[in-house]
Amino acid sequence: MSGALKSALTLTGLTVLVLVAAVWGWAALTEPLPREEPVAICEDETVTAGSEVRRDQVVVSVFNGSGRSGLAGATSAQLGERGFVEGDVGDSPLPADTTQIWSAEPRNPAVVLVKRQFRNATVVQGDALGPGVVVVLGERFQGLRNKQVESVVAKADATYCRATGSE
């Protein structure tokens, strides 16, 4: 094989290699960036009667049903300081006079634990405005109870949205 033929074959091989690398590089460059999948703040878990439910396992979403600005955010922060996991915060779609906990299960241990943090809160039927236990603060809301209840024992089997990452 002559030197000219060797050089031509080498240049052809290198040209093909460069073209393949360029096509691969362009495809990688124009590919959409991977999206991070959001991690759920809580997942449904069933507890049996006699099991303990603690504050760090319960997600609480707080909504303002009063005319006072910033009430839901401040209350959610206070619940976070007590050890609850903060869920969504915002304005309630309906005004409220008293503090309400929206749940179809008034005896659910997570609902009972959250209710014990508030004075005169009532459990009413309502939509799930956010993850976990939904609290709507009304015009007569004065603040959280001084006595902090750290846990409750489930009186019956129940399902609640347990905070991800809690033990």
Reported as a single tens digit per residue, the pLDDT across 22-36 is 889 898 888 888 888
Q: Under 8 Å CB-to-CB from 160, ≥6 apart: which residues?
A: 44, 45, 47, 53, 58, 108, 109, 110, 111, 132, 133
Contact between 89 and 112 (Cβ < 8 Å) = no
Least Cα distance to 82 among 52, 57, 109, 107 occurs for 57
What average pLDDT does this structure show over 144-151?
A: 90
Which pLDDT value is given to residue 57?
95
Which amino acid belongs to residue 112? Answer: V
Count other Cβ atoms within 10 Å, centred on residue 90. 14
Which pLDDT value is given to residue 39?
82
> Residue 86 gets which letter from DSSP?
E
pLDDT tens-digit readout, 49-107? 999 999 999 999 999 999 899 999 999 999 999 999 999 999 999 899 999 999 989 99
**pTM summary value:** 0.76
Separation CA 43–CA 46 (nearest Å): 10
